[in-house]
Chain A
């Protein structure tokens, strides 16, 4: 049985040590604000909840497409005209997404775009 040596002081409530308390407090407040919301079932929030879900998916795909386009451009396999066309198409897509987000009153922060490790794939 593991026994704590009798002469060692018992750990006090966890200590926090830093020379930058204000900076860390600010960052941790941001983290706390980002914790998952409780699900509200009144109709307005269901609608907004669905919009968020759909727009999140579209936004992820859109970003994936942008990155794919950049890679193809880098790879040198596209003519100048193709680059121009692709760029214009993606520009329009970006503008359309901005419209949709505005329509639902959603900012990027509202869409759950942070995928953690999966984000590296996009």
Chain B
């Protein structure tokens, strides 16, 4: 019988989980080792089906833990033998404790931004005189390179605008976001995917700031989510 691991922390209290069950309906338990505890439940089977229900259970249990303190969440589907789990905690104790310090008193919030990819691409690049004129005797090879040049310049301009969007979000969350993890993608519509570590209790402020940015920037669509346990801030600092 393996254990499904939800999260680990140094402030997890058994009372919070007494009445609750986890993935597959088993009761929740705490496995303790030193200052750390891991929230688990017994799980039948070798693998966890990624169904709506199981994902919701994983989420619900982590939210329950997050209500009282900030644990480090495991990836969905983490199944271990008890002994393996204890070995993991023993080996990783120092880095887990450091990670817990990093996120103490915080929650993770997420923000995503969509822009009009087609419109952005069309905005393109200033026409080059050279290109527009183009010697009539220019061969196919030259035309090819000129077209590539246009593409390259266009891509660079696009990338720069995408970074601009990320900067607008960062600036809006100035003072609220303790740490952030941001992905910028200039190709496609989902231009920015960001996670932010903020102080507990300021979730509504976060949402309001994201909403405000959405109102001010008609060219952007914003989404805020959370609070989450720190999925994006549990690993080694990049």
Contacts and interface: CB of A to CB of B under 8 A. Distances in A.
A and B interact physically: yes
Interface of A: 1-5, 8, 10-20, 23-24, 27-28, 30-31, 66-67, 69-70, 73-74, 80, 83-91, 114, 116, 120
- Sorting the interface of chain B by its residue count into under 10, 10 to 19, 20 to 34 or 35 or more gives 35 or more
Interface of B: 11, 56, 59-60, 63, 66-70, 104-105, 107, 112, 114, 138-145, 148-149, 152, 159, 183, 187-190, 193, 200-201, 203, 207, 210-211, 214, 221-228
A91 B224 contact: no
Contacts of B144: 87-88, 90-91
Given A83-B141, A84-B142, A87-B144, A14 B152 contact: no
A27 B142 CA distance: 38
Contact of B63 (A13, A18, A83): A13
B149 A88 contact: no
Main secondary structure of the interface of B (DSSP, over half): mixed
Contact of B189 (A12, A27, A85): A27
A18 B214 CA distance: 9
Contact of A89 (B60, B141, B225, B228): B141
18 contacts: A2-B11, A2-B70, A5-B201, A15-B207, A23-B114, A24-B112, A27-B114, A30-B188, A66-B152, A84-B141, A85-B141, A87-B140, A87-B143, A87-B145, A88-B144, A90-B145, A91-B141, A114-B187
